Amino acid sequence: MATFKIYIDVKVTDKDGKIHKHRRVRCHSFVRQMMDVMACQMGQDTRSTKDYLAASINCTPQTTAFDVSSISGASLFGILLGSGQTPVDISDYKMEGLFSNGTGGGNTLMYGACCTGKVAIVGSTATFVIDRTFVNHSGGTVDVHEIGLYNYYNSKYFLLERTLHDISIADGAYVNVTYTITITV
């Protein structure tokens, strides 16, 4: 039986470099846009989908299909964090309360670069990881409740996956979020 699984590892490190918490979460799910982009690429034709602004977009095959490799300092795509707590729905097209990049107080985090590792094979499992680190210099504790994965797609941004998970990040602490994508035969 095919198994295609995604785990999220969340590692919180305090301002002194001590690991405060390490949790592994099974993702809730890809949402509809994942199927839209996949169908578009597989069929090499135009599909209607919805970007994070709720705009209806004619999605055509793109070089950037599935691109999550965001630079640091940007909170538009790659792994993103937010404050929303509403249960995940297949039709979600954005995170509920996205944290912006910055140090300006309130719900802001400094976004590192979003990096993607190579595929590795161990036994009958193939795996690769997507990784991003966030630092809290907001001046107060930031409480994360949702993790999302956004795709940059020809100047648009699509939510591919959204998972609820609670993370508390003290001022000066940082959190490393790693998606591990696996296929096992």
Question: Applying CB under 8 A, does 135 fall inside the site for another protein?
Answer: no
Among 12, 13, 28, 174, binds another protein (CB under 8 A): 28
Among 50, 57, 67, 134, binds another protein (CB under 8 A): 67
> Taking CB under 8 A as the rule, which mask of x and - marks residues 72-101 in contact with another protein?
----------------xxxx----------
Question: Applying CB under 8 A, does 159 fall inside the site for another protein?
Answer: no
Which residue(s) pair with 183 in the sheet? Answer: 4, 126
**CA dist., res. 26 & res. 155, Å (int):** 30
Of 19-27, 101-109, 137-145, 168-176, which part binds another protein (CB under 8 A)?
A: 19-27
Question: Applying CB under 8 A, does 176 fall inside the site for another protein?
Answer: no
In 31-173, DSSP assigns E strands to: 47-50, 56-59, 78-82, 100-101, 108-111, 115-116, 120-122, 125-135, 142-153, 156-169
Question: Applying CB under 8 A, does 130 fall inside the site for another protein?
Answer: yes
Question: Applying CB under 8 A, does 31 fall inside the site for another protein?
Answer: yes
**CA dist., res. 143 & res. 58, Å (int):** 35
**CA dist., res. 67 & res. 137, Å (int):** 28
